[in-house]
A and B are shown apart, each in its own frame.
Chain A
Amino acid sequence: MEKERYIVLLENQEKKSLKKVENELQVSITSSEFLSKDNRSFDVIDNDNGVLYKNLGVVVVENMDEDQLKKAVKDDSNPIVYFEKEREFFPADEMKIISELKKQAAEISDKINELEQYLNNKPIPQKNFVEMEWGLKAVGIEKALYTGKGIDVCILDTGLDMSHPDFASREVDGKSFIEGEDWNKDLNGHGTHCAGVSAGNLRGDTGKRYGIAKDCNLKIAKVLSNKGSGTTSSVVDAIDWAISKKFRVLSLSLAAPVQLNEKPSVLFETVGMRALENNCLIIAAAGNDSSRPSIPKPVSAPANSISIMAVAAIDGQMRVAKFSNGGLNPSTGGNINVCAPGVDVFSSYPKGIRNKNYYFGLSGTSMATPHVTGLAALYMEQFPDKTAKEIWEMIETNAKPIEGLKYRDIGSGLIQII
């Protein structure tokens, strides 16, 4: 039978206490002071004898009943305060330690590889060292993981200055719906500015970022003349062309004022609905007819159609732009859906029209609209299975309300990256 020894700690070593222990454990205790080289502890300790190490207050006994020892510890009147089984100690085997360390190192190495693989595959946002226009910061572009790659975005406006250095090397398709005026020239500048906000990238002079969806497939429909005006039929013609080409987002920074309680055009309502049925989202400017705070005006056409997304403008202090139209005709449609930066927005611009370089600052719901268009392209790249209608809902759901501003003026709020 294997010997099991116990180390028993005593509260005191009074004779009375030692006697009690001897009686309870049915052993005879020899004090360590009587041990010698001819009378060693292992010669003494057996089933009937234990040794008391006086300096330690410890008794070593053999083959005890553990339950009995446990009871003794719990009993306050008993001098035994603690016990434990004797432990075995072995000399360290160096090779065994090395073998164990190697095994642990291999396990850690596997974990490191696993972590490395996870980090390599995870789309980590690049730390942004690029300066940005305030509008891009306001919608959270620094957090963007997408660039609109593969998404066809069409700007219906005054055309695009294809000689602009930011677009000259890009592949851009277009069509003019204005007789005698080319889509790839922009003697007005408005279209080039809007295209820049949606699909531009970095300024050539300062390196500051001003565009949202730099990798989208930019398409241009010239529906406004160089004077900046156009007809309903030109816009309908262009939308028909864009849908037939399966473009995903159409940006309309154009508007015609409407009166209070004026019903939206059935024509644009139908066009917007057919676009959505064809997985195409139309986003339009709410218009710039207001003189806030005293005179807000209703959302213009075609943004007042419920099948077309209406965009209001805010400034850098998160206030409604004084010119931005509001949802004053809610019973007939004509709500604002979201708002976006639209005051002092810097973007690409043809050189020499109003400026000495290739960039210019403009204000208007026209500038707010392409922010939403660019964001829609990012969402569409991020969620390729979502329909145009679902993307619209997501843009509104993720928009951020602005404290103190009304739904009437900013709809669901300031658009945001997700």
Chain B
Amino acid sequence: MKIYLAILKSDIDLEEFKRNLKEKKIKFLDHYKSVGIVKLQSEKKISENDFKKFCVSIEEDKDNLTI
């Protein structure tokens, strides 16, 4: 399972986006409303092209931040 962070486009239908995710078996984990980003979880790699209607970009979460 991988974690993804997606930047949402403004004025999208969030419920429609969630339905799309469900269809593709992508789990909606969290919505960071102040920054307009959602956290997703998927076994397969998420394609940005599949969610162009809803997202500006989708990046895989990285565990590379250090002191």
With contacts A232-B62, A266-B7 taken as known, whether A271 is within 8 angstroms of B35 at the C-beta atoms is: yes
Indicate if the CB atoms of B33 and A244 lie closer than 8 Å.
yes
- Chain B nearest CB, measured from A312 CB (Å): 17
Indicate if the CB atoms of B66 and A254 lie closer than 8 Å.
yes
- Among A188, A243, A270, A275, the most chain B Cβ lie within 10 Å of the Cβ of A270
- Give Cα distance in the complex from A270 to B66, angstroms: 21
CB-CB < 8 A to B12: which residues of A?
none
CB-CB < 8 A to B33: which residues of A?
240, 244
- Give Cα distance in the complex from A188 to B66, angstroms: 12
Q: Which of A48-56, A142-150, A222-230 lines the interface with chain B?
A: A222-230
CB-CB < 8 A to A244: which residues of B?
33-34
CB-CB < 8 A to A157: which residues of B?
67
Contact of B65 among A235, A237, A364 (CB under 8 A): A235
Indicate if the CB atoms of A224 and B65 lie closer than 8 Å.
yes
B42 at the interface (CB under 8 A from A): no
CB-CB < 8 A to B34: which residues of A?
239-240, 243-244, 274, 278
Interface residues of A in 246-284 (CB under 8 A from B): 253-257, 265-267, 270-271, 274-275, 278
- Chain A nearest CB, measured from B55 CB (Å): 10
With contacts A240-B37, A266-B59, A274-B34 taken as known, whether A232 is within 8 angstroms of B67 at the C-beta atoms is: no
Interface residues of A in 135-185 (CB under 8 A from B): 157-158
Contact of A229 among B3, B56, B65 (CB under 8 A): B65
Indicate if the CB atoms of A188 and B3 lie closer than 8 Å.
no
B5 at the interface (CB under 8 A from A): yes
- Give Cα distance in the complex from A230 to B3, angstroms: 14
Indicate if the CB atoms of A236 and B63 lie closer than 8 Å.
no
B50 at the interface (CB under 8 A from A): no
CB-CB < 8 A to A232: which residues of B?
5, 59, 61-62, 65
Indicate if the CB atoms of A233 and B65 lie closer than 8 Å.
no
Indicate if the CB atoms of A236 and B65 lie closer than 8 Å.
no
A254 — nearest CB in chain B belongs to which residue?
A: B65
A287 — nearest CB in chain B belongs to which residue?
A: B66
Indicate if the CB atoms of A253 and B67 lie closer than 8 Å.
yes
B64 — nearest CB in chain A belongs to which residue?
A: A256
Indicate if the CB atoms of A239 and B63 lie closer than 8 Å.
no
Indicate if the CB atoms of B63 and A229 lie closer than 8 Å.
yes
- Chain A nearest CB, measured from B38 CB (Å): 10
A347 at the interface (CB under 8 A from B): no
CB-CB < 8 A to B37: which residues of A?
236, 240, 267, 270-271
- Chain A nearest CB, measured from B11 CB (Å): 15
CB-CB < 8 A to A198: which residues of B?
none
With contacts A157-B67, A229-B66, A232-B65 taken as known, whether A270 is within 8 angstroms of B36 at the C-beta atoms is: yes
CB-CB < 8 A to A355: which residues of B?
none
- Give Cα distance in the complex from A237 to B67, angstroms: 18
- Give Cα distance in the complex from A9 to B35, angstroms: 95
Task: Give B21-32 as 1s and 0s: 1 = Cβ < 8 Å from A's Cβ atoms.
Answer: 000000000101
A266 — nearest CB in chain B belongs to which residue?
A: B57
A41 at the interface (CB under 8 A from B): no
- Give Cα distance in the complex from A364 to B36, angstroms: 32
A257 — nearest CB in chain B belongs to which residue?
A: B64
- Chain B nearest CB, measured from A239 CB (Å): 6
- Give Cα distance in the complex from A188 to B57, angstroms: 34
Contact of B67 among A158, A236, A257, A267 (CB under 8 A): A158
A214 at the interface (CB under 8 A from B): no
CB-CB < 8 A to A190: which residues of B?
67
Report which B residues bind A (CB closer than 8 A): 3, 5, 7, 30, 32-37, 39, 56-57, 59, 61-67
23 contacts between A and B (CB under 8 A): A190-B67, A223-B65, A224-B66, A229-B63, A229-B64, A231-B3, A231-B63, A232-B5, A232-B62, A233-B61, A236-B35, A236-B39, A240-B35, A254-B66, A254-B67, A256-B65, A256-B66, A257-B64, A266-B57, A267-B7, A271-B37, A274-B35, A364-B67
